[in-house]
């Protein structure tokens, strides 16, 4: 026997079915609501929580970014509807011609939530603390030296030319803390820092909101910062972020129990009630295939003709269809929100005949390759197992036999990072809003090496990568990254597949709903009709 | 260990092969007991009815038998009678049940009906395999432990203690995770946790048989331990073990589906009921995705459980009905 006592065996069988019945019954027709906002000055946002802390120097999770973005202003930022160009927030900046020195001049008069002015000391403390904590986001400022010039001026010096630095400073992790308050609660610029607990109970920033309460498992409550004197005009006095399962989020927002739902998948939004508004855009998450270029891993996948076969065997439109409303094909590894992304016309295309010919030429017939992927993770509501099965069927049509090897994320990530996968199905979330982030896919770079792609394998692309890291001019960068994207599409062992949808469902009364690749949503920017 | 008097030790009075005594004769039903369908009255039907062993002539036993046989037939011929290829992704996604796709289509546009039918082979045949293997391994170890006693017994029984001390599903999960996710590994994982109960039961039966006169006289006649086990002991433990095994088929099906549900069994795109229910959980507003594989699991588990009950009533009439 299997350890289940007899009466239980029947019960257990029944429970499986009863559960599926009960779950099915939950899909009742939605109740339309007339008045969405019961309290005019409060907004309830439902999301699936991924937050460990509200300490800017330590947080690096999606929900954490939403919260920290509202609490801490950064030196620079992006407008809600344009994520290609940095704009001033707490400071304006000038970069030296060689892109190694960045001088920031603080905007006059900005204050923290306790009324103290924002000074250069606060900036130096916050950025050095971000580096010194050695937390998840610390890598953002690797190789950067922060020095105070005078009370209003701070200089950042980088070892290498770093055109991405302004974008990096716009990520919520680079938020500026009130150094006086944080130091008095154990704050320090190295690992002896004790301020995390304090920063989880209250906030010490100059952002439009302050933290009233944070429970990382259930709820975050933000209230308007009365001292705030920045450029934004927050509409809602109180912002409540709740941890809610996606299916419940859908019901809540349809019934008016919440005003915004952030976690609905492409399939869930297809059956939305007409009483709510859907803002559906491709997310900045790029789902891609990695085809190992290392002959030691597979002599078949390392054959360039095999890579070509895979690239033309995939029916990209069918994959996008699978991802549901709002998804789009990834035209290159650089998503559509970024500088240097490619137009749709230059994306990879499906050509079955060409794929069959290339597969035969590569000798794929009669061989089986393994497609590995994490099966317990759904980037923005799209289960990778569905994508993998679709790809398996599409490659089979071109004569490529694929064996699926699903594994838990925690075990598969090692095989991926060590470059042990024959074909891998993964996704990339941007760390900051600059295309330089994607140069990691280049030959000899971090992700490139995961597919066994060494620097000398493609000197032309390697050269573009070097230029990408050192070119500062906006127009030149755009052309450069487009060239890089095209070359990567043609010759790299990576196949950009799709950008799953980012669906923000809101009450019609909520305006200015914009998806941001890094901080998901700017709660201070939300308006009311 | 002193044995309490048991009916097993008393049944074989002589060294005559004991199985004959244990095997119940198919007694004709007493005319006094009214059968549910005897009202039909036709002699031919009545003869057919009487051909069914008495223990099976309960509504539950009958229904269970029919359902189980139906599933076995489906498991054997299923793949050749499905209306669609269970792996073909050529239908529209998430179609509710209709005349083209009787039980709807899933997240990749595959026919749910065909997948449920094709899944029968996977689940039922593997459950049977699992139960046979655990019965075989468990019985052999149990007979050895009971027959030889002393340190052999100690070692085997402590091993069963070790395995039984773990929560079943957790141990199966650990095994499946260590070996990698595949159906065969799921069977192996389930095997690891399922043999000890057989070993225990068989050992206790052997312990009581070992001291009985017909076994002792066999040994005195010069039977080798192996021959004694084969001729005198095995036939006497076979019946109860078979009953136990038949009761276990449903549980095995549930455990294997459970492992697949957790992503540790069937690999996609193989049609398997547990993994189909797992997908349904992610799309639970599409009721047809989970209901039908769930019903399949439910009917298989219940049918084999009732079948086991009936078998026990037949092979072991002394036991009280559950």
**Inter-chain residue contact A16 with B94, CB threshold 8 Å:** no
- pLDDT tens digits for A67-115? 999 999 999 999 888 888 899 999 999 999 888 999 999 999 999 999 9
**Inter-chain residue contact B252 with A2, CB threshold 8 Å:** yes
Q: Which of left, alpha, beta for A324 (phi over 0: left; psi -120 to 50: alpha)?
A: left
- Chain A residue numbers touching B168 (CB-CB < 8 A): 2-4
CA–CA separation, A95 vs A514, rounded Å?
Answer: 29
Could you give the number of structural domains in chain B? 1
Q: Is residue B45 part of a domain?
A: no
B263 is in which domain, residue-wise? 54-315
**Inter-chain residue contact A392 with B197, CB threshold 8 Å:** no
Residue A385 contacts residue A373 (beta carbons within 8 Å): yes
Query: In chain A, positions 189-248, which contact chain B (CB-CB < 8 Å)?
Result: 247
Reported as a pLDDT band with limits 50, 70 and 90, residue A62 is: confident
- pLDDT tens digits for A295-308? 999 999 999 999 99
Query: What pLDDT is stored for residue B309 in this prediction?
Result: 85
Quick one: CATH architecture of A49-207? Alpha-Beta Complex (3.90)
**C-alpha R_g of chain A:** 25
Q: Is A405 on the interface with B (CB under 8 A)?
A: yes
Q: Is residue B305 part of a domain?
A: yes
Name the residue in chain B with its Cα closest to that of A382: B282
Domain ranges for chain A, please list them: 49-207, 286-499
CA–CA separation, B55 vs B33, rounded Å?
Answer: 13
Name the residue in chain A with its Cα closest to that of B251: A9
DSSP H or E run through A136: none
Looking up residue B182, the CATH number of its domain turns out to be 1.10.3720.10
CATH topology match: A49-207 vs A286-499: no
Q: Is A5 on the interface with B (CB under 8 A)?
A: no
pTM: 0.78
Q: Is A304 on the interface with B (CB under 8 A)?
A: no
Reported as a pLDDT band with limits 50, 70 and 90, residue A172 is: very high
* pLDDT over 50 at A339, yes or no: yes
Name the residue in chain A with its Cα closest to that of B94: A267
- Chain A residue numbers touching B297 (CB-CB < 8 A): 13, 16-17
Distances A135 to A188, B125, B217, B275 between C-alpha atoms, Å:
13, 51, 77, 38
CA–CA separation, A444 vs A242, rounded Å?
Answer: 42
**Inter-chain residue contact A405 with B267, CB threshold 8 Å:** yes
Phi, psi dihedrals of residue B33, rounded to the nearest 5°: -80, 120
Which residues pair with residue A139 across a beta bridge? Answer: none
**Inter-chain residue contact B89 with A390, CB threshold 8 Å:** yes
* pLDDT over 50 at A32, yes or no: no
- Chain A residue numbers touching B89 (CB-CB < 8 A): 389-390, 393
| C-alpha neighbours within 13 Å on the C-beta side of residue B296 | 32
| Range of lowest pLDDT (A366-375, B34-43, B164-173) | B34-43
Pick from A8, A11, A23 the residue to mutate for testing the B interface (most B CBs within 10 Å).
A23
- pLDDT tens digits for A357-409? 999 999 988 899 999 998 877 777 788 999 999 999 999 999 999 999 988 88
Q: What is the CATH topology of the domain spanning A286-499? A: Dipeptide-binding Protein; domain 3 (3.10.105)
Q: Is A258 on the interface with B (CB under 8 A)?
A: no
SS3 A279: strand
**Inter-chain residue contact A2 with B251, CB threshold 8 Å:** yes
CA distance B254 to chain A (A): 7
């Amino acid at each position: 026997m299997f350890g289940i006592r007899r009466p239980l065996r029947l019960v257990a069988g029944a429970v499986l079915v009863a559960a599926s019945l009960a779950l099915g019954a939950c899909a009742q027709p939605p109740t339309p609501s007339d008045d969405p906002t019961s309290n005019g000055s409060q907004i309830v946002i439902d999301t699936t929580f991924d937050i460990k802390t509200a300490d800017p120097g330590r947080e690096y999770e999606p929900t954490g970014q939403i919260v920290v973005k509202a609490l801490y202003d950064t030196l620079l930022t992006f407008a809600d509807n344009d994520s290609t160009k940095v704009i001033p927030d707490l400071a304006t900046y000038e970069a030296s011609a060689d892109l190694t020195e960045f001088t920031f001049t603080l905007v006059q008069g900005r204050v923290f939530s306790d009324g103290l002015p924002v000074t250069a000391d606060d900036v130096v403390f916050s950025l050095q603390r971000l580096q010194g904590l050695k937390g998840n986001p610390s890598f953002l400022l690797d190789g950067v030296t922060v020095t105070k010039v005078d009370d209003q001026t701070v200089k950042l010096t980088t070892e290498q030319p770093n055109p991405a630095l302004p974008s990096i400073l716009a990520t919520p992790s680079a938020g500026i803390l009130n150094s006086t308050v944080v130091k008095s609660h154990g704050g320090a610029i190295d690992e002896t820092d004790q301020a995390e607990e304090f920063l989880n109970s209250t906030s010490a920033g100059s952002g439009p909101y302050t933290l009233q309460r944070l429970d990382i498992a259930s709820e975050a409550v933000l209230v308007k910062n009365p001292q705030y004197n920045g450029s934004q005009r927050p509409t809602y006095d109180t912002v409540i972020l709740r941890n809610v399962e996606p299916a419940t989020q859908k019901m809540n927002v349809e019934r008016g129990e919440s005003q915004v739902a952030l976690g609905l998948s492409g399939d869930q939004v297809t059956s939305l009630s007409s009483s709510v508004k859907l803002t559906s855009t491709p997310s900045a998450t790029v789902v891609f295939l990695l085809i190992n270029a290392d002959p030691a891993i597979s002599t078949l996948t390392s054959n360039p003709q095999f890579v070509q076969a895979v690239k033309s065997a995939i029916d990209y439109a069918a994959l996008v269809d699978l991802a549901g409303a709002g998804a789009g094909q990834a035209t290159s590894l650089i998503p559509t929100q970024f500088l240097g992304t490619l137009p749709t016309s230059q994306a990879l295309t499906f050509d079955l005949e060409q794929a069959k010919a290339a597969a035969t030429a590569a000798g794929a017939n009669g061989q089986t390759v393994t497609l590995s992927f994490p099966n317990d993770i759904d980037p923005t509501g799209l289960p990778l197992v569905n994508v993998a099965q679709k790809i398996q069927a599409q490659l089979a049509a071109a004569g490529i036999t694929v064996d699926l090897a699903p594994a838990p994320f925690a075990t598969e990530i090692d095989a991926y990072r060590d470059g042990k996968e024959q074909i891998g199905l993964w996704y990339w979330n941007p760390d900051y809003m600059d295309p330089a982030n994607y140069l990691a896919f280049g030959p000899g770079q971090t992700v490139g090496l995961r597919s066994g792609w060494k620097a000398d394998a493609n000197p032309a692309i390697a050269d573009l990568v070097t230029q990408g890291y050192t070119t500062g001019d906006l127009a030149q960068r755009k052309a450069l990254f487009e060239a890089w994207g095209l070359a990567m599409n043609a010759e790299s062992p990576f196949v950009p597949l799709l950008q799953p949808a980012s669906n923000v469902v809101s009450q019609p009364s909520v305006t200015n709903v914009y998806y941001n690749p890094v901080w998901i949503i700017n709660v201070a920017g939300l308006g009311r009709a | 260990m002193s044995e309490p008097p048991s009916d097993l030790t008393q049944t074989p009075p002589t060294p005559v092969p004991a199985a004959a005594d244990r095997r119940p004769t198919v007694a004709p039903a007493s005319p006094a007991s009214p059968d549910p369908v005897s009202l039909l009255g036709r002699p031919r039907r009545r003869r057919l009815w009487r051909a069914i062993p008495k223990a099976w002539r309960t509504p539950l036993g009958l229904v269970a038998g029919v359902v189980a046989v139906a599933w076995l037939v489906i498991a054997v011929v299923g793949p050749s009678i499905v209306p669609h290829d269970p792996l073909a992704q050529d239908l529209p996604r998430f179609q509710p049940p209709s005349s083209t796709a009787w039980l709807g289509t899933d997240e990749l546009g595959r026919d749910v009906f065909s997948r449920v039918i094709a899944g029968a082979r996977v689940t039922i045949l593997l459950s049977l395999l699992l139960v046979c293997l655990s019965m075989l391994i468990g019985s052999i170890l149990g007979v050895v432990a009971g027959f030889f006693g002393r340190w052999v017994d100690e070692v085997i029984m402590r091993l069963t203690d070790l395995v039984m001390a773990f929560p079943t599903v957790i141990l199966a999960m650990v095994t499946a995770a260590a070996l990698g996710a595949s159906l065969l590994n799921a069977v192996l994982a389930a095997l690891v946790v399922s043999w000890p109960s057989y070993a225990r039961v068989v050992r206790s039966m052997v312990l009581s048989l070992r001291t009985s006169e017909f076994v002792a006289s066999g040994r005195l006649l010069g039977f080798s331990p192996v021959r004694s086990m084969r001729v005198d002991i095995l036939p006497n433990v076979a019946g109860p073990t078979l009953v136990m095994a038949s009761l276990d088929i449903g549980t095995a099906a549930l455990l294997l589906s459970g492992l697949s549900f957790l992503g540790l069994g069937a690999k996609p795109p193989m049609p398997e009921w547990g993994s189909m229910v797992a997908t349904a959980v992610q799309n639970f507003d599409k009721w047809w995705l989970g209901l039908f594989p769930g019903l399949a699991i439910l009917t298989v588990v219940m049918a084999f459980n009732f079948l086991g009950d009936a078998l026990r009533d037949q092979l072991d009439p002394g036991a009280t009905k559950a």
